[in-house]
Structure 1
Amino acid sequence: MRNNFNTSAFSELKFEIGEDPAEGWFSYTGKARYSPRRGLVAWIGPAMIGTLKSARNFSYQIEDPLDEPAGAAERDSGQELSPLDLTLAGLGSCSLKTLIGGGSARGVIFETVEMLIALVASPSQGSGGDQSRYRIDCQFEVEADATDELMTELIQQVQEFSPNHRTFTDRMPIKIGYEGSPGQIEIVGDGADNALAPIPADVERRIAWITGPQFESWLPAQTPTARMQIDSPKQLTGADWGPNAQELLLMGLAADVASHLNYFSVRELGARLPWEVTVTAGIDAGGMLDSGDSDVGLQEIQCTVRYLGEDKAEDGSSLQRVVDKAARGSVVRTLVAGPQIVNVSLTSARSGAEVRSIGRRAS
């Protein structure tokens, strides 16, 4: 079991999927709630790993970058995460896990594996729907007993078979429903109206492999006092040490939509209102393990918004307008719906060689 990564378990899973495709469907849940008293909180719900239920229970107090009373003290201390922190950690840790798994299957022994991941915002002044473009830079930093050619091949496999990477580089439909409204907002592609809400400054995260499917993430400019822990469910050879990559991504999406719900509640209705957002999605492991023709990225992404106010002072059309603007203004929703440009670079500690390639962008 190289790198403490149980590749044989995934071989068994591939066989089980061949016998019963239902064993290859993994579904995850991320939730977030904005409260005028408690601010923004995100957590995950139970997961279904094939036909097995996995009790998952991790929660975080989230820094709300759009909530004006929230100062920068928490951000400076590194104690609180933003929605984009969760999102980038989800993308980066999924890519690193795919690299460790693919390398372990090829006999590579890893000494250290880290990634510096950055979201770069480049706002444009166009009048169309696509008013903001983003670039994601993923710099792999690897020390391993592998040639540059093999490492390059493994990184290319990450671009093909990492579910979260493919979620960003492919075009992903997201259905957003509001309880209290008969219809759903279905947004496909990157046609966001991000001029409605502030465009964030560039965000960076550092992610490091610990052992097996365990990782840690922190802000690169700080000496972290508390690192975010990332792990797989026990049913997928993890130790339930923390959320996995998909759960982080779904929490990031839920928290960002909840943040924008508060932002537009204040601007449209003049008050901070309580909201809850639930995001669900699944992965077909058959595609991830290349045992079928299924898609690799997240599928059936469903976002459900619920107004938690007890009073009925706000009419339905006003609340629906807030939901619509929050859905279209969400930066994470824009990133996930894609397709996005993802620049990938590899720095080998063994030779100092660097390989650059650009992630696929769907037409």
Structure 2
Amino acid sequence: MLNGIDLRARRALAEQIREDSWEAQLSMGVAAHPAVADRCRVRTEPMRLGSTRVARTFDIDQRCGSGADGCLDPVGSLLVALGASVAESVVTELTGDGCSPALLEVLPCVEFARGEGAARLAYEIRIEGDVLVEQARRALAAARERCSAHRTLDEPNDIKAVVQTAQDVHLTSRPVLPGTEPFVPERRRAARVMWEVGTHVLAEVDGVHAESDQPKQLFGADLAPSAQEYFLAALAAEALSFADPTTAPDTPPASVHASGRIDLRGPYSTEVAPAGLRNVLVQLLPADPAVDGDTAARAMRRWLAEGHALRLVRDAHPIEVRLVLNGEPVPAQHTENDGTSAVNDTKEQHRAP
């Protein structure tokens, strides 16, 4: 099994989900709870793959404030997710070409502009080993077209939120079109994601180490949270950071649940299907729903307006991709499926309200 990638099993799954679209639906969720000061713990919940329940639990510590060094913040989690998902797409394509890279790294980064929170995303793919230029280019194209994280961040996405109180408050944050002002970078975040074997990667963001893997049902070793779970963890942790964590001594703390769904026909087959994370729902349970409802609703509205991780997932961000093969930059060939491809357009286009 080259590179730890089971191509035969992946092809069998592609055939199965082509014949039964219900079995292609992967649903997942996470729950965030306050931990120590400026930190929360996000726990993954069992996935649902078609009619199969996938029981797996991981904890992801997230920074919710300016302190809590030593754990990821929400934007850092998104960078880990992007790098892990791209690495999986690239190594799978290279495996199909019979290539075994000596090294595969993905270097995702994001720049934030001054003012209204505009952002630019990019990543660099570094490959070393006996790989031809055209093989590397095909791997890059596979990441652009079929990588679930790339498609999630590249396209606009409605984010729905619910504040669970005596009378639930339902909110929707719709994508915002980029402004016309010149982009002036104010700060930059970057990560380094190193492929290990199969779908397992190691990552580093601002000196914090993390890892990601897929469940065994998706041909991983089940060693760590998936890239998609890092997406949801980022949203849940950031939403919780906007909610008031102060509670009475005997009162349970507030918590946030985030969920989403992926149609596996997008990333795992050649079917015309979306590849990105969809149906994102974030639910806030206040510490005391009977008392804190209005405060919690205001906090959620503020998150939907100001959250950096939320904006990255919600708004469309054309992603610059660079390819380096054995230390030499390789000009990337753009395909007709780049950007807002109809084949992989996971979200309806929206105009700013």
Q: After superposition, where does 1:132-211 map in structure 2 within 5 Å?
A: 132-180=117-165, 181-190=167-176, 201-211=187-197
Sort the Cα spacing of 1:134 and 1:216 in 2 relative to 1 into closer, same or farther, 3 A.
Answer: same
Q: Which residue identity lines up with residue 185 of structure 1 in the other structure?
A: L
Q: Which residue identity lines up with residue 347 of structure 1 in the other structure?
A: V
Q: Which residue of 2 aligns with 1:352?
A: 328
TM (normalized to structure 2)? 0.85
Q: Is the 8 Å Cα contact of residues 30 and 248 (structure 1) preserved in structure 2?
A: no
Structure 2 CA distance, aligned partners of 1:82 and 1:357?
A: 34
Structure 2 CA distance, aligned partners of 1:163 and 1:331?
A: 20
Q: Which residue identity lines up with residue 10 of structure 1 in the other structure?
A: R
Structure 1 CA distance, aligned partners of 2:37 and 2:142?
A: 46
Q: After superposition, where does 1:1-363 map in structure 2 within 5 Å?
A: 1-34=1-34, 39-66=39-66, 70=67, 75=69, 79-124=70-115, 131-180=116-165, 181-190=167-176, 201-219=187-205, 222=207, 227-262=209-244, 274-309=253-288, 312-314=290-292, 316-349=293-326, 352-356=328-332, 360=339
CA drift of 1:340 comes to 0.9
Q: Is the 8 Å Cα contact of residues 209 and 215 (structure 1) preserved in structure 2?
A: yes
Structure 2 CA distance, aligned partners of 1:145 and 1:54?
A: 37
**Number of matched residues?**
328
Structure 2 CA distance, aligned partners of 1:90 and 1:262?
A: 27
CA drift of 1:100 comes to 0.8
Q: Which residue of 2 aligns with 1:128?
A: none
Q: Which moved more, 1:274-283 or 1:93-102?
A: 274-283
TM (normalized to structure 1)? 0.83
Q: Which residue identity lines up with residue 14 of structure 1 in the other structure?
A: A
CA drift of 1:320 comes to 1.4
Structure 1 CA distance, aligned partners of 2:176 and 2:34?
A: 25
Q: Which moved more, 1:23-32 or 1:290-299?
A: 290-299
Structure 1 CA distance, aligned partners of 2:106 and 2:82?
A: 11
Sort the Cα spacing of 1:274 and 1:38 in 2 relative to 1 into closer, same or farther, 3 A.
Answer: farther
Q: Deviations over 1:101-130 (max 9, x none)?
A: 111112222111011211111123xxxxxx
Q: Which residue identity lines up with residue 210 of structure 2 in the other structure?
A: M
Q: Which residue identity lines up with residue 228 of structure 1 in the other structure?
A: A
Structure 1 CA distance, aligned partners of 2:44 and 2:133?
A: 38
Structure 1 CA distance, aligned partners of 2:172 and 2:105?
A: 36
Gaps of 5+ in 2: 179-184
> Matched residue of 1:216: which SS?
strand
Structure 2 CA distance, aligned partners of 1:3 and 1:82?
A: 31
Q: Deviations over 1:169-208 (max 9, x none)?
A: 011111111112444211221379xxxxxx9942211100
Q: CA RMSD in A?
A: 2.6
Q: Which residue identity lines up with residue 20 of structure 1 in the other structure?
A: D
Gaps of 5+ in 1: 125-130, 193-198, 267-272
Structure 1 CA distance, aligned partners of 2:200 and 2:36?
A: 35
Structure 1 CA distance, aligned partners of 2:91 and 2:234?
A: 24
CA drift of 1:317 comes to 2.7
Structure 2 CA distance, aligned partners of 1:34 and 1:232?
A: 26
> Matched residue of 1:293: which SS?
coil
Structure 1 CA distance, aligned partners of 2:237 and 2:187?
A: 17
